[in-house]
Each structure stands twice: as structure tokens, then as C-alpha cells.
Structure 1
């Protein structure tokens, strides 16, 4: 069994989406001085690798903690869409993407994580592709970018209005491109919020 970590490491200087509050991670207790170690984290739910729930941009009253666990675990599927500025539907996807999968999109943009253009010059999904994914009944869509779209966030709304979760700021998706079959475990904190940081891993034999 092989496990691939698709999660960004959280550090004190982890970059956040422009306009979001900064994250801080500091050690508050030291073994030599206090007899134990402790760390304190101040973070908004959309920092690093995280999952957006429907409450993020709609009037849904469903917190991410209210969602059933099976929504965060499932058969995975990855598409190599690297080099595309606008990610659109292609006919061959009909046979590649099955219903109820967790779909991961490798754009290659994740290589820019930590640089300013990561948050400003990322590829986006078309509304047509988003609507097709709704018809395919995918559980979740994840990518190595900070967002599937830009203002006015029509793709976000399409997904959230149809119960599709969104996983942002993934990494290591290139390591799945040659894998025929894998599972995805994308578990958020059990937190009463619109979204949550998550540990996302892929597992295959």
C-alpha cells in the first residue's frame, strides 16, 4: 500500500489568499523551561490545504461538521490539465470520470505556491465544465490552485448549490498521474465552520 500526502505543510509564514487574515503558529511552552511543549495556532479556515463547504458562499446553514463522513472519502480520479489557462470539458472525460468520484485536477500551478502570482494568475474552470461535473455527481473537486474561479465566483456557486465540496491548495498531484486506481481521504476538522483545513491523502496498492 502506498500513501501520497496531498497536503501543504502549515508553517508560521504560510501564505494566505489576499485579503484574508494572516496565520500565526508559535511555540508557547518550552520543554526546558516549562516541562512540556505547546504550540498556538491562529488561522482562518481557508489557509493552506482546505475544504470549502456550501456555507462558504451560499445561504446554506450546513456547517462542514454537519456533513457525513462518506462525503470526504471515495474513489479518486485525476486529470492532467497542466498548461491550460481555462479548464473546459472534453469529450474523453465522459469515460474517464465516473459518478461519485473525488476528482483531482493537476494544473501544475502549485509549483508557484509561496509566490505572489500563485494567488493572482491561476487557471480557472469554465462554467460548462462545472455544470458537467454536477451532472456527473462528483463528491468533491480538488486542485493545486487557490480557487477554481475568480470574482464573481460562478463555479464556486455551481458546486456549492449542488453539494459538491471544493478542496484547494493541494500538492503532489503529479505523483498520481500514472496511477490507475486510488482512493482519496480528505478529512476536515470536526469544526462548526463554513470550511476547514484538511489532511488530504491518496492511497493505492
Structure 2
């Protein structure tokens, strides 16, 4: 069994979506002075690798603590989609996408994580592409940068997916993972009433 950690590390100075709070990490106790190391962390709920529940864009939708975790566990399919800034049906129609799938997109975003700061131009899922996935009946979709939707998307892709019960995982790090089928586990923090949560995401290759 090979375990691939496909989450990004959380640290001060990391990429955050424009306008979101950057993480701050401060050591408040140390082994030398207190016998143990303890830190305080301040960060947005959509920092790094994170889960978007319906409540992120749908006022009546489930919050992150209300999510059915089975939507974020099980077989996932990693697909490579290169050479486009917007994933649309023409990029999806020849892929093996079935009802109940968890679909993870590995794109040109791989190189964007290597830049010194957040990149406003990144590969995202187009509205028609999102509709295609909804009609296919996928249960979750993930992408390898900080938003499933283009920078000035207006929330339409999020509302379409989340409003139809498709959980969204953003900020995956798929650079070192080959396309194919894996066991996927992505567990968000149980934040009561949360509109999102950082998560540790892994792919298991058996």
C-alpha cells in the first residue's frame, strides 16, 4: 500500500485566495520554558487543502459538520486535463466518469503552487463542465488549486455544484500523483456551523 499525501502544508506566507485571511502561527509555549510546545493558529476556513460544504454558497445548505463523510471517502479517479484554463464538457466527454464517482483534476495548476504568491489565472471548472458533472451524478469534485471556479466567476459554479449535493475539495496537491483510480480519504475539521474547513487529504494506491 502506498499513501500519497495530496494536501498542501499550512504555513505563514503560503498561497491564499485573494482577499482571504493569511494564516498566522505563533508559538505561545515552549519545551524550554513550559515543558511542551503549544502554538496558536489563525486562518480562514478555506486555507490550503479544504472542503467546501453546500453552506459555503447555499444559505440553507449543510454546514461542514453536517456533511456525510462518505461523500469524501472511497474510490476516486484522478484525471489529467492540460492545456486549458477552463474545463468544459469537451474535456470530460471521453473520460470514464460514472454516477457516484469522486473526480479529481490534475491540471497545469501544478506549476502555480511553485510561484511565490497566489495566481489569479488558474485552471478551473467551467459552468458547462460543472453541469456535465452534475448530470453524470458525481458525489465530489476536487481540483489542484484554491478554487474550483475561475477568479471572477461570481459563484455560479460553486452554487451549481453545491446546490446539487456535489461536495467540493480545493487546494489539492496532485503534482506527484499519476492519473488513475485510488482510495481517497479527505476529512475536514468538525467546525460547528462551518462554511468550510482545512482538511488532510490522501490517496491510497493498493
Asked if 2 retains the 8 angstrom alpha-carbon contact of 1:110 and 1:170, the reply is no
**Gaps spanning 5+ residues in structure 1: where?**
none
Structure 2 partner of 1:203: 204
Supply the distance in 1 between the matched residues of 2:55 and 2:110 (Cα, whole angstroms).
Answer: 26
Asked if 1 retains the 8 angstrom alpha-carbon contact of 2:18 and 2:118, the reply is no
**1:155, distance to aligned residue in structure 2 (A):** 0.9
Supply the distance in 1 between the matched residues of 2:114 and 2:175 (Cα, whole angstroms).
Answer: 17
Q: CA RMSD in A?
A: 1.6
TM-score of the aligned structures, taking structure 2 as reference length: 0.91
TM-score of the aligned structures, taking structure 1 as reference length: 0.91
Deviations 1:75-99, CA, capped at 9 Å, x for gaps: 1111111221221113312xx1122
Supply the distance in 1 between the matched residues of 2:170 and 2:69 (Cα, whole angstroms).
Answer: 19
Supply the distance in 1 between the matched residues of 2:76 and 2:89 (Cα, whole angstroms).
Answer: 18
Any runs of at least 4 consecutive aligned residues in structure 1 with deviations exceeding 6 A, and if so which? Answer: none
**1:110, distance to aligned residue in structure 2 (A):** 2.9
**Gaps spanning 5+ residues in structure 2: where?**
none
SS across alignment from 2:75: strand
Deviations 1:164-204, CA, capped at 9 Å, x for gaps: 11111110255132x4x311101101112011000000012
Structure 2 partner of 1:130: 130
Deviations 1:95-117, CA, capped at 9 Å, x for gaps: x1122111000112132226367
Asked if 2 retains the 8 angstrom alpha-carbon contact of 1:48 and 1:197, the reply is yes
**1:28, distance to aligned residue in structure 2 (A):** 1.1
- How many aligned residue pairs are there? 201
Asked if 1 retains the 8 angstrom alpha-carbon contact of 2:61 and 2:163, the reply is no
Structure 2 partner of 1:169: 171
Structure 2 partner of 1:16: 16
The alpha-carbon distance between structure 1 residues 117 and 32, as it changes in their structure 2 partners (threshold 3 A), is: closer
Structure 1 partner of 2:184: 184
Supply the distance in 2 between the matched residues of 1:27 and 1:111 (Cα, whole angstroms).
Answer: 32
SS across alignment from 2:99: coil
